[in-house]
A and B are shown apart, each in its own frame.
Chain A
Amino acid sequence: MSELFPRKQIIGFVFSLVLTAAALAVYFLKLSFAQGMVVLVVTAFVQALLQLVVFMHAGESEDKWVIYGKVFFMIAMALITVFGTLLIFLWDM
């Protein structure tokens, strides 16, 4: 039975629960907007990375670097789109 529950995945799951709890602190501890955003950005991106590496096995095949490259390129493009648009509409309108 225990072979069905590998350590790595259980640690990953516990860690993701901890990250979620940390993010919830933003709500329950009534942090300021700036502090809250820092916490949220950190927890969300760490959580995403955790899923990518631990659960999605992104690094296991021969295409490891192509897959990482592709995903990080896309995240970069996504951030450019989000922040570029915010620059146009919110910060410099």
Chain B
Amino acid sequence: MEFFERFAIPNPSLAIYASMVAIGLTVVAIIAGLTYFKKWGYLWREWLTTVDHKRIGIMYLLSALIMLFRGGVDAIMLRAQLAVPDNKLLDPQHYNEVFSTHGVIMVMFMAMPFIFAFMNYVVPLQIGARDVAFPRLNALSFWLFFFGAMLFNISFVIGGSPDAGWTSYFPLAGNDFSQHVGTNYYMIAIQISGIGSLMTGINMITTIMKMRAPGMTLMKMPMFTWSVLVTNLIIVTVFPVITVALAMGTMDRLFGTHFFATTNGGMDMLWANLFWVWGHPEVYILILPAFGIYSEIISTFAGRNLYGYKSMVASMVIISALSCMVWAHHFFTMGQGAVANSFFSITTMMIAVPTGVKIFNWLFTLWKGKIRFTVPMLYSLGFIPLFVIGGMTGVMLAMSAADYQYHNTMFLVAHFHNTIIPGVVFAMLAGLTYYWPKMFGFMLNERIGKWSFWTLTIGFCLAFFPMYITGLDGQARRMYTYSEATGYGPLNMVSFVGAGVMAISFALIVYNVYYSVRYSPRNIGADPWDARSLEWATHTPVPEYNFAVEPQVASSEGFWDAKKKGHALFPGKVEKIHMPNNSGVPFIMGAIFFVLGFSLVFSLWIPAILSLIGILACMALRSFEQDHGRYISVKEIEETETKLRGAK
């Protein structure tokens, strides 16, 4: 019995017990459903073992949506707790757990997989490739992310959630102040999914640098592909930093080292430093692909080619380099001198320049365009003014002297939500709507989509603009309550209402999916938006080999050239196509990583060592295995092509 006590929840509440029951019932329902409909084989053959970039993209997408709702429920709880002064809905410990998991889930397990979904699905299509450079590694990346996310999510029913914030600053995150295993989950789950992200970075850079269609020079790549290339450059640069930082944090918690302790020479500030060396570029990892998606959508629905292609590319490259030189602006108040603060202050403000260039380029793309106000376009148009507000408050925060006033207040919270929601979340929803027909063969309903856009935008403004005011008035972030005398009550109530409106918007998105599955027409063709780049040049649904004939392009808008200027996109003839084989090893390795992570969280050394051996065995198996893939014959390709052309 003593052995099992470690798995107990340190601060149980009715909500957690209810969640346990719900999780149990869901698992039983899924297993029963799969068994009843005899879908185990289908699931294993078509999804769990797949190495197809399109299916992996869709799995990322589903995971991201699920995590969006998990993180969203956290957000509602936070706003509900703060809605009125001296609220007793959540106790301080629960409040700490909820805001910590909200942050980690939204950044690591919602936004990251969301951008990976689009990267995986769109980039090979956009550059005319058959798959990514390392399909099996790609599957491994996904499963590491997935099991990392699962490990993080079970924390609230087994052992307790992390409660030291998504930044997990030491010494608070050390053993003395965070005694239960929550922070172990944080360290290890992020480590596992981070390794997956690093692999994706390597994979995508290789894919984009080496597998572009003939004719597609670097300066003829579609803008989304450019943004993904730059993003992955940042991923490869900074993910090793968080790997080391998390490893050191794990050693502090499990092996009693003193890296970030306050005794024996340890330096708690080093954690903050390393965390933000990764953490700041991380937010650019999220925003740059979003910029890429906006570029695609704005040029499609303005009916014009993207204004200032070269300056777009240059500004992204400059942003990527600058993003690695600004990290100290997250801790201006930590005690370093004026020289260091001034340096980081100036580099931070400099980022506004290339970002401004991009904003103007989008505006000039719209100028004199025939704008179609579709749902993806609405999100893109909503993004521009709202993101500018977020960016401007960022410049305010960048001034180190003034930051002493803003630091750790709701002003900061308003700022980063103001960049992340209109920046990243809008882009993800726009991209979801835009690429949905390519992924699933039918469109999402436009009318419901517009309703969810407007509710989301209005809800967003209601929820976050009041925080600028309460923040300047001194309301601290991460405080579970405030007294009535502070006068923060009414504005926090407005925020809560805004959060509710946003919740309605997400419910509408779910309803939209349901509605469109049932009622949307299926005969939409391959190019429902009258789009410009290569991903729309292949059939819908996309055959597993993507393009029967390798496309040949002459500009960044190969498909548009083919439609309007008579460019011959597919000059070759059909040849047999080499494809990689499916493999169960990535899934199994991911599962073993999960066991390893779980064992480490609870310091169960024997299963940890066994699973480490298992991982090495999987790698050895891969090394000795001879797998040359398979060929799709010309006959098979022609049959598929005829069938898909008929479906148009």
> Hey, which bits of chain A sit against chain B, CB under 8 A?
63, 66, 73-74, 77, 80-81, 84-85, 87-89, 91-93
Contacts and interface: CB of A to CB of B under 8 A. Distances in A.
B325 interface: yes
B31 to A, nearest CB: 46
Interface stretch (B336-344, B348-356, B512-520, B606-614): B336-344
Contacts of A92: 336-340
Contacts of A66: 209
A2 B267 CA distance: 55
Given A66-B209, A80-B325, A93-B335, A88 B340 contact: yes
Given A89-B270, A92-B337, 17 more contacts: A63-B209, A73-B233, A73-B237, A84-B325, A84-B327, A85-B277, A87-B340, A88-B336, A89-B267, A89-B336, A91-B339, A91-B340, A92-B336, A92-B338, A92-B339, A93-B335, A93-B337
B277 A81 contact: yes
Contacts of B233: 73
13 contacts: A63-B209, A63-B210, A66-B209, A73-B237, A81-B241, A84-B327, A87-B343, A88-B273, A88-B328, A88-B336, A88-B340, A91-B340, A93-B336
Contact of A85 (B210, B273, B337, B338): B273
A93 B241 CA distance: 22
Contacts of A73: 233, 237
B526 interface: no
A72 B501 CA distance: 49
B324 interface: yes
A73 B327 CA distance: 18
Question: Size class of B's contact patch?
Answer: 20 to 34
B235 to A, nearest CB: 12
A89 B324 contact: no
Contacts of A88: 273, 328, 336, 340
B269 interface: yes
Nearest to B234: A77
Contacts of A63: 209-210
In the complex, the 8 A-B pairs of residues with the closest C-beta atoms, listed nearest first = A92-B337, A92-B340, A88-B336, A92-B339, A88-B340, A87-B340, A77-B237, A77-B324
Contacts of B236: 74
Contact of B273 (A77, A89, A91): A89
Contacts of B237: 73-74, 77
Interface string B166-186: 000000000000000000000
Contacts of B328: 84, 88
Interface in B596-617: none
Contacts of A85: 273, 277
Given A63-B209, A74-B237, A81-B241, A89 B325 contact: no
A88 B329 CA distance: 11
Contact of A81 (B209, B324, B338, B343): B324
B216 to A, nearest CB: 15
Interface in B199-253: 209-210, 233, 236-237, 241
B339 A89 contact: no
